[in-house]
Amino acid sequence: MEFNIPLYAGIHKGQRRWLAEMIVRAGRTDFTQRAEVEWLMNQLDLFLAHHREHAELEQRFVHPRLSLIVPGGARAIEEEHEEHHEMLKDMIHSLDRIKGIPPDHPTLPLIGQDFYLALNRFVASYLMHIDYEESYVQNVLLNDSTAEEIMDIFQQILAAQPATSLRDNLTLMLAAMNVPEAVGLLTMAKGKLPQALYDDLTARAAQFIGPQRWTEIQAALGNH
């Protein structure tokens, strides 16, 4: 193809980073410590809210095009979105129950280990889902669409997001990208976003990414 507009690549990198961090933190969680369980629960709550919006954007703007090219081609993906919502809700419910177990209960560490396995099963399933979208759906869309049609989908996805969601999604993406990709994303954002939202994005991203990496990105952006 002459053009390449990655509809999925940036945000999926951000999601992989987020889920990888959750797995690492869950692995070292002492389930007798309420604050550590609260951290996991909060992260899963945030991921569930993020995933609802993310799946909705795909279903509203990407899947109509996919279904036109491959009749019924979006059905299994949308069923998986529902399944992933249910898995996330089940894990949050489980953590809520775990918080109510006395810290000295003898089976609490075993229940914590089983939660850890459930989280990893979810992540395994989710990684396969986004891999299918990026390695198959994206190619189908690009092969049977003009650059204008793909750009139109991309613009609709940008326009449909509330400002705070767009800022948070771009922050997730920036934290997971290499420096040239981050420079490209920030350059695009500066051209398209209102100045106040761009300033909000860079302030938040700097804090989220950390000073060392942010300085590298800024230096590359300055040289751009």
Nearer to Fe ion, 58 or 168 (CB): 58
d(CA 203, CA 63): 33
**What is the chain's Cα-based Rg?**
19
Q: And the tokens for 123?
A: 């992540």
> Smallest gap, in angstroms, from Cβ of residue 96 to Fe ion?
26
> Smallest gap, in angstroms, from Cβ of residue 113 to Fe ion?
29
d(CA 197, CA 190): 9
Nearer to Fe ion, 59 or 218 (CB): 59
Three-state DSSP at 74 gives coil
> Smallest gap, in angstroms, from Cβ of residue 203 to Fe ion?
30
Nearer to Fe ion, 39 or 132 (CB): 132
> Smallest gap, in angstroms, from Cβ of residue 12 to Fe ion?
9
Residue nearest to Fe ion (CB): 58
> Smallest gap, in angstroms, from Cβ of residue 77 to Fe ion?
6
Nearer to Fe ion, 83 or 200 (CB): 83
Residues of span 55-114 touching Fe ion by CB under 5 A: 58
Q: Count the residues in the chain.
A: 224
Reported for 120-128, long-range contacts at CB under 8 A and 24+ positions apart, including other chains, are 120/23, 121/87, 122/84, 122/87, 122/88, 122/91, 123/19, 123/20, 123/22, 123/23, 125/80, 125/83, 125/84, 125/87, 126/15, 126/19, 126/84, 127/16, 127/19
Number of residues that bind Fe ion (CB under 5 A): 1
> Smallest gap, in angstroms, from Cβ of residue 193 to Fe ion?
25
Residues of span 1-60 touching Fe ion by CB under 5 A: 58
- Only one residue has tokens 């939202």, namely 197
In the complex, which residues of this chain contact Fe ion (CB under 5 A)?
58
